Amino acid sequence: MNMVRGAGVATLACAAWLAGTPARAADISCRMDFQLSGWSVFYKTASGSGTVHCSNGQSLNVKLRAKGGGLTFGKTRITDGVGKFSGVSDVRDVLGHYANAEAHAGAEKSAAAQVLTKGSVSLALSGKGEGWNLGVAFGAFIIE
């Protein structure tokens, strides 16, 4: 009888400890499929749209903007872009302004890859597109 009572007390103690411990959100994996087009003549601007899908079942349609400046010229269009996020615990963590610095050169068909950060969230972009561009640019990549 004492063993049963002791096991019951231990179970209650564990339950009380677990109830008092705050749950920590686990990182989830999220992927964004997108398209983006823009131009640059010293000032760089681009806009587009995409959809973010996360491993926990959440999804979000997003608008994309890129802006910045530098020594840059060109016109580009990405039609098959993919973004992979890390450091995300909720789909809404992907929204915001990401720091962006790039050097680029391309003509006609091209491919590109880039890594951006926003606090603890990182975004690795890759895509195939067309156009022509040349230069160095700094700015922001914005997901709304």
Span 35-73, pLDDT tens digits:
988 877 777 788 999 999 999 999 999 999 988 776 667
For 89-96, what is the mean pLDDT?
A: 95
Give me the number of domains the chain comprises. 1
For residue 80, the model assigns a pLDDT of: 86
Poorest-pLDDT segment among 14-23, 44-53, 101-110, 132-141:
14-23
Q: Is residue 4 part of a domain?
A: no
Q: Is residue 16 part of a domain?
A: no
Q: Is residue 8 part of a domain?
A: no
Q: Is residue 2 part of a domain?
A: no
The residues near 32 (Cβ < 8 Å, ≥ 6 apart) are 50, 51, 52, 53, 62, 81, 82, 83, 84, 85, 94, 123, 143
Above pLDDT 90, what percent of the chain? 34
Q: Is residue 112 part of a domain?
A: yes
What is the residue-wise DSSP string for 49-64? EEEEEETTS-EEEEEE
- Residues of the domain holding 70: 26-143
